[in-house]
Structure 1
Amino acid sequence: MKTVKNNRLTRSQQAVLAALRDQPDLVEMEALARHLGRHPNTLRDHLTALLDAGLVVRHQAPVDGRGRPRWLYAAAAEPVVDENAELAAALAWRLAHRERNPLAAARDVSRHWAQQIIARRGLLRLRTARAGRAQVVEVLDDLGYAPVPDDRFDRVALTRCPLLQVASDVPEVVCNVHLGLVEELLDASGADPHRASLKPFADPGSCALRLLAPTAEVRTAVDPSR
């Protein structure tokens, strides 16, 4: 993992951000101004810019008397870029543009990926199919898909895609990798792998995954146009 750098900050803003990151606790603007040797009005402008950029957060201190509310500042958690996701995106691009049969290649990739996950996590076949589906949803959550399942663990809204940009460019490849992964995980968990279906971008902000889809909905490949 590597830290995302913000190259648009001025030197003064970078100094303010660095000072906040060095503090173990929330800091008042006046204390930070004294620490940095800056005028509070100048510092206020820098803090506003950092707040707008999402690099700093602020919390209101408990009110003491009738005075104006006091704000306490801290550096926001640093965003990170998942280098594995970048590699996966590059692989998906190659599958889409260099393979003669990209969908078959996508399924091969998904099977290999799933077997690694199954071995690493020690997934077991569970006693009931529902428990198996729940186990698959748990794995998807750990992988960053932010799944929202129904009570039966049948309809699952995937509210985050780790490969969103490349999924928008070549959904037939990326979504077939995801569907193949789900099928392999279902099989390893004791649930029916032949009942899974995936509809990319079915709703604003999510894809629709079915783990108990009717036969008519199940396809051997994801077709974004249908």
Structure 2
Amino acid sequence: MATPHGYSPISSESRVRILAMLLEGADRTIDDLTSATGLHPNTVREHLQRLMESGFVLAEAEHRTTRGRPRTLYRAATGQRGASSPIIREKARQAAEHGDLMRRVMPETIPEGLSTQELHQLDAITEHLEDSGFDPIVDEAHLTVDLTPCLHASDALSAARCGVHMSLIQSVLAEAGGPLAVEGMHPACNPGDCVIQLLRAPADVAAPTDS
């Protein structure tokens, strides 16, 4: 059952803005994020804490070559080297266990043509999206994930939120381990339509790496 809308760590517009900035690639400090968002430093810290607890953001102390207290640097968890999240990886492992249990109980639900790794990746993104308040419909044959109706189609930050969701799905796929990756979103005349297309990426692109 999907989590009620508003519970997800990225339901907050401020957290979406913070995560979108971190997904640009550069490590950021509290001061960087405060200046960019106009939020109070304590508010930024609270948002970052929520995002870290969910595994979406990682923090580490700055490496300094001079004297002085190192700053804390924040980055988005992408599933790639240096940005791998143990929290997302553990959630993916648990989702795979749940999926395997369901398939043992109902073997007739096992789709044809998918490897165990691919099934586990789909388990992981399904649970991730349900935790984010969606009710995803996964088409294993065509490797699509239908999130229609979009919860955020009329959101003022819908474009940024969409990009954040896509990046997080790719991170979950990477942490789960396997060949599936995000290809993109199907174009739609109705902005409330949201169908994500997956593809089988080369192993060196899809495989997760340790931090």
Q: TM-score, normalised by structure 2?
A: 0.44
Greater fraction of residues in helix: 1
- Which has the higher Rg, Structure 1 or Structure 2? 1
Q: TM-score, normalised by structure 1?
A: 0.42
Higher relative contact order (CA 8 A, sep 6+): 2
